[in-house]
Structure 1
Amino acid sequence: MFPTASQHLVLTLLLSVFVYWPCPALGHGRLWDPPGRSTMWRRGYNTPPNYDDNQLFCGGIDHEISEGYRCGVCGDPFDGPYENEAGGKYATGTITNTYRKGQRVTFQVDLTANHYGYFEFKICPTNNPHSRETQTQACFDQHVVSLADGSGTHYKVTPGNNMKHIDVVLPSNLVCDFCVLQWRYHAENSWGTGPDNKSCTGCGPQEEFYGCADIKIVN
C-alpha cells in the first residue's frame, strides 16, 4: 500500500525535522563554583549569557598550536578577541565569592565531556577589575593553588561526565580585594608526540580549556 498524500506530507515534515534539527554543541567543561565569567548567568547573576561557556578552548587545538601553543588567560584565542578578559563582554568585575587566606575550600567544575587529563588552579591578585594588562599569565603563575590532600597542584580527572569537586587550600600569604581565579583543564585523550619523540595518548600538545572567576581573599 502506498502512503496517502497526507501521510507523505507528515513523513516529509518528520524527515525535515530530523535532518535540520540543530545538534547540541560538543561541550567539555565549565568552572562552576566559583562561577566563571562566562557561566555566571547560569548561577543567577545578571550577566551576559555565553551558551558556549563549556568551550573556552583557545580557539581549538589547531589554533592554539598555530599560536605557539598559547592561549588567552581565560580561554579566549591567544590573538583575540578577548571576551572573557578584563574589558571583554563577560568580564563584568562582579565578585562571586569571598574566601580567607589559607582557607580549605572546594572548587567545582561541571565536566560535560571527559577528556581525562588534569585540572589546575592559579590566582592573580590584580586588585583592578578593568586592567587586562595586570591580569597576565605571569601574574597567575606566581600563585598556584595546592590540592588539600598534599598531592601537588594537578587534580587528576576522575571518570565520568559530571560535577567534579576539588578540595584545595588557598595560599596562606595572599590577600586581595579583587583576585582572578584561573581554571585550566589540560586534556590527555588525543594521540600525539612529545618533545622526546615519544608517541602516546596524551603525549604532545593536547586540548586545553579555561575559565576565570572574580573573587576576594581576606585575612
Structure 2
Amino acid sequence: MRNLILVRLTAYSIVGHSLGHSLVVGQKFKMKYLIVFALLAVVPIVWGHGMVMDPVNRASRWRFNNSAPANWDDNQLYCGSYGTQWVLHNGKCGMCGDSYSLAPPRPHEIGGKYGEGVIVKSYRSGATIPVVARIVANHNGYFEFHLCNLDRFGMETEECYSSSQLLFASGSNQQAIGSQLGDHNLSIRLPAGVTCKHCVLRWSYTAGNIWGNCPDGTSKPGCGPQETYKTCSDITITA
C-alpha cells in the first residue's frame, strides 16, 4: 500500500502540471498514463531543478529587475514534466523549457509572458564567456548550449537553435555536471564572425538519474529518456 501511494503521488507530480492545459479523453490518453504509473512503480525518480543566472534567463530576470514579470518557479522549466515530455509528446519540449502542450508563443518564448526580448548582456564575437548555471537539486547528467541568431532567422525556432551548438572551453559540446550543487561557473565559446543585435543563448540540462536502456544493450541510470531543463537568455554579440 505504501508503494502504491508513493507511485500515485509521484505520478501526479509528473503529469499534474500538464493536465490543466491538455485534457484528452479516451483510451489512448488513459493508456499513456497507465504506462507512466507502471514506470514509476519500478523506477525511483527525484526531480532536479536549475536555471542559468548569468546571463540571466527570461524566467529569472525579475530577480534583478523588478519591472520584469515574476516567475516564482523559474527553476522548474522542465518541459512540463518527464511524463508530459516523454509519454505525451515523444520527447518534444517547448523551445525554452515550457510544456510542448502549450500553444505558441509559450510563456518563455519570444512573445510569451516572460519572453519580452530584453537584452541582458553584451559579448564580443568569438569570445570565451563566463556563464553561471545554478543547480538546486543535482541528479547528474550534462549541460549543453545553443545560440539562436534572431537577426538571421527572423524568429525563434528549433531550426534556429540547432544551427549553432556552442562549445565549452574544453572543446566539448557537452559538460558533465558531476555531483556539484549550487552555482556552476562555466566557460563557453561564442562562434567567431557571428554578430547580432538579438541572439538567444539557450541552456539545456539533461539529468542522468533515471534508469534506462543503453545503446550497448546494458541498462543503468542516465540511459534512455531523461528529465530535461531549458532556459533562454537574450543577448547581443558585437564585432
Bin the TM-score by the shorter chain.
0.7 to 0.9
1:78 counterpart residue number: 100
Computed over aligned residues only, the root mean square deviation of the Cα atoms, in angstroms, reads: 1.8
C-alpha distance in structure 1 between counterparts of 2:189 and 2:65, whole Å: 27
Is residue 164 of structure 1 aligned with residue 188 of structure 2? no
Structure 1 segment 112-123 matched on structure 2, within 5 A? 112-123=136-147
CA contact (8 A) 1:194 1:205 kept: no
* Match for residue 53 of structure 2 among 32, 37, 56: 32
Name structure 1 gaps, 5 residues minimum: 1-25
- 1:127 is displaced (CA, Å) by 2.8
Comparing 103-112 with 154-163, greater Cα deviation is found at: 154-163
8 Å CA contact retained: 2:132, 2:186: yes
Answer yes or no: is the 8 Å Cα contact 1:187–1:207 preserved in 2: yes
Partners of 1:74 and 1:84 within 8 A in 2: yes
User: TM (normalized to structure 2)?
Assistant: 0.75
State the SS of the aligned residue for 2:126. coil
Give the ranges of 4+ consecutive aligned residues of structure 1 lying more than 2 Å apart after TM superposition.
193-198
> Given that residues 48 and 207 in structure 2 are in contact (C-alpha distance below 8 angstroms), is that contact kept between their aligned partners in structure 1?
no
Share of identical aligned residues, percent?
Answer: 37
CA distance in 1, matches of 2:217, 2:91: 17
> 1:48-88: per-residue Cα shift (whole Å, max 9, x none)?
01011100000101110120101011001112151000110
Task: Tell me the secondary structure at the aligned position of residue 64 of structure 1.
Answer: helix
Kindly name which structure, 1 or 2, has the bigger radius of gyration based on alpha carbons.
1
Distance 2:234 2:124 in 1: 14
Which residue number in structure 2 is paired with residue 103 of structure 1? Answer: 127
Instruction: Kindly provide the CA deviation profile for residues 168-191 of structure 1, in whole angstroms up to 9, marking residues without a partner as x.
Output: 111112111100111000000111
Q: Helix, strand or coil: the match of 1:183?
A: strand
TM-score where L is the length of structure 1: 0.82
Corresponding residue for residue 10 of structure 1: none
Aligned pairs for 1:46-195 within 5 A:
46-65=67-86, 66-81=88-103, 82-127=106-151, 134-150=155-171, 152-194=172-214
Residue in 1 that maps onto 2:62: 41
Contact 2:48 2:139 in 1 (8 A): no
CA distance in 2, matches of 1:51, 1:27: 16
Separation of aligned partners in 2, 1:35 and 1:193: 35
Tell me which protein shows more helix as a share of its residues: 2
- Could you tell me whether the CA contact under 8 Å between 2:58 and 2:234 is conserved in 1? yes
- Cα deviation, 1:77-115, whole Å, max 9, x if unaligned, reads 112151000110001110000001101111101110101
Unmatched runs of 5 consecutive residues or more in structure 2? 1-46
